[in-house]
């Protein structure tokens, strides 16, 4: 996923804030790599460059709708990974085919369709409750991608989120393309895990490291310091003796040399 370093701009030098794309390993809570998006480009060209330096065997790569590109899917498969990628109307014809196929499957009671379904228990938090219904269809490649344009394309997913906030109910439906076999529960877990990069990386960088407030902006310094923050966060996350968050660990390392040594030792071990 991508993140803009909001205060790395330099109006005097006509320089916009830089944008970094990072790969986040959810289960290990580690940044695996990052690339800076070229000022004349966007995430679509940056993501394949990042994927090419990763070992993806046995991994599921999740990307938002910006990454729903044939070249990106091909890069993931070439590196040995599987994928679950959000599908939106930036791929209009593909989106229309997937949406219509799910409507048809539901109308027919899934007769003639290979499908799995999974629903979560009601989750309640801060006055909001939510239930998510997951559907997955497989054996549909000839219907969706007859020209074999999408590498290792095996299944499509639909997640319907029903939210109740202050007595008002809203329903949101999202679609996905995937190389996974037909397993709606795995689809749900993969999609939920994707938010780890927002909650455990981007949010921590802003709150624990105050990244968005940083005014470092000369030459390559913003990119270099972004990488240093990622390395620091990796070390803090791997230090397990303290149960506090990254922000407090960082503060403690600043005034306790013994604790700082313990954190640095993680890199050696």
Predicted pLDDT of residue 40? 66
- 79 and 12 fall within a common domain: no
Cβ-defined contacts of 231-234 (< 8 Å, 24+): 231/31, 233/31, 233/201, 233/204, 233/205, 233/208, 233/209, 234/30, 234/31
Within 10 A of 46 (CB to CB), how many other CB atoms are there? 20
Domains of the chain: total: 2
Burial of residue 160 (CB within 10 Å: 0-12, 13-18, 19+) is middle
- 68 and 185 fall within a common domain: yes
Q: List the one residue out of 180, 183, 192 whose CA is nearest residue 76.
A: 180
- 183 and 136 fall within a common domain: yes
Identify the domain boundary among 171, 192, 213. 192
Identify the domain boundary among 173, 192, 211. 192
Which tokens belong to 118? 């999974």
265 and 59 Cβ atoms separated by less than 8 Å: no
Identify the domain boundary among 156, 171, 192. 192
Phi then psi dihedrals of residue 35, to 5 deg: -135, 150
Predicted pLDDT of residue 153? 96
Distances (CA, A) of 94 to 150, 210, 261: 11, 40, 52
Between CA 104 and CA 95 the distance in angstroms is 14
pTM of the model: 0.89
- 66 and 145 fall within a common domain: yes
- 83 and 45 fall within a common domain: no
156 and 137 Cβ atoms separated by less than 8 Å: yes
- 219 and 112 fall within a common domain: no
Between CA 218 and CA 214 the distance in angstroms is 12
2 and 21 Cβ atoms separated by less than 8 Å: yes
- 1 and 50 fall within a common domain: yes
pLDDT in tens, the chain (269 residues): 999 998 898 887 778 888 999 999 998 899 999 999 987 678 888 999 999 999 999 999 999 999 999 999 999 999 999 999 999 999 999 999 999 999 999 999 999 999 999 998 888 877 788 999 999 999 999 999 999 999 999 999 999 999 988 889 999 999 999 999 999 999 999 999 998 899 899 999 999 999 999 998 888 899 999 999 999 999 999 998 888 889 999 999 999 999 999 999 877 76
Distances (CA, A) of 36 to 15, 154, 171, 227: 14, 31, 36, 10
- 120 and 243 fall within a common domain: no
- 33 and 79 fall within a common domain: no
- 147 and 202 fall within a common domain: no
- 175 and 73 fall within a common domain: yes
Predicted pLDDT of residue 16? 87
- 110 and 226 fall within a common domain: no
Find the domain containing 253 and state its range: 1-54+195-269
């Amino acid at each position: 996923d991508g993140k803009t370093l909001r205060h790395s701009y330099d109006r005097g030098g006509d320089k916009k804030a830089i944008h970094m794309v990072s790969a986040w390993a959810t289960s290990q809570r580690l940044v695996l790599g990052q690339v800076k998006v070229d000022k004349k480009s966007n995430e679509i060209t940056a993501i394949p460059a990042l994927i090419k330096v990763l070992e993806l065997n046995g991994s599921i790569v999740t990307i938002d709708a910006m990454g729903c590109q044939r070249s990106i899917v091909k890069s993931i498969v070439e590196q040995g990974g599987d994928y679950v990628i959000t599908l939106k109307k930036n791929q209009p014809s593909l989106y229309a085919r997937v949406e219509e196929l799910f409507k048809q499957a539901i109308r027919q009671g899934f007769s003639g369709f290979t499908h799995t379904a999974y629903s979560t228990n009601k989750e309640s938090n801060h006055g909001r409750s939510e239930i998510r219904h997951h559907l997955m269809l497989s054996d549909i490649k000839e219907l969706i991608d007859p020209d074999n344009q999408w590498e290792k394309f095996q299944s499509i997913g639909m997640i319907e989120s029903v939210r109740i906030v202050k007595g008002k109910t809203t329903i949101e439906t999202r679609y996905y393309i995937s190389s996974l076999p037909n397993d709606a529960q795995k689809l749900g877990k993969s999609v939920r895990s994707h938010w780890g990069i927002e909650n455990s990386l981007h949010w921590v960088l802003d709150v624990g490291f105050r990244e968005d407030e940083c005014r470092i902006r000369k030459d390559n310094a913003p990119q270099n310091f972004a990488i240093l923050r990622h390395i620091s966060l990796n070390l803090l996350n791997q230090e397990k003796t303290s149960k506090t968050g990254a922000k407090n660990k960082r503060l403690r390392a600043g005034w306790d040399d013994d604790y700082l040594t313990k954190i640095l030792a993680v890199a050696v071990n």
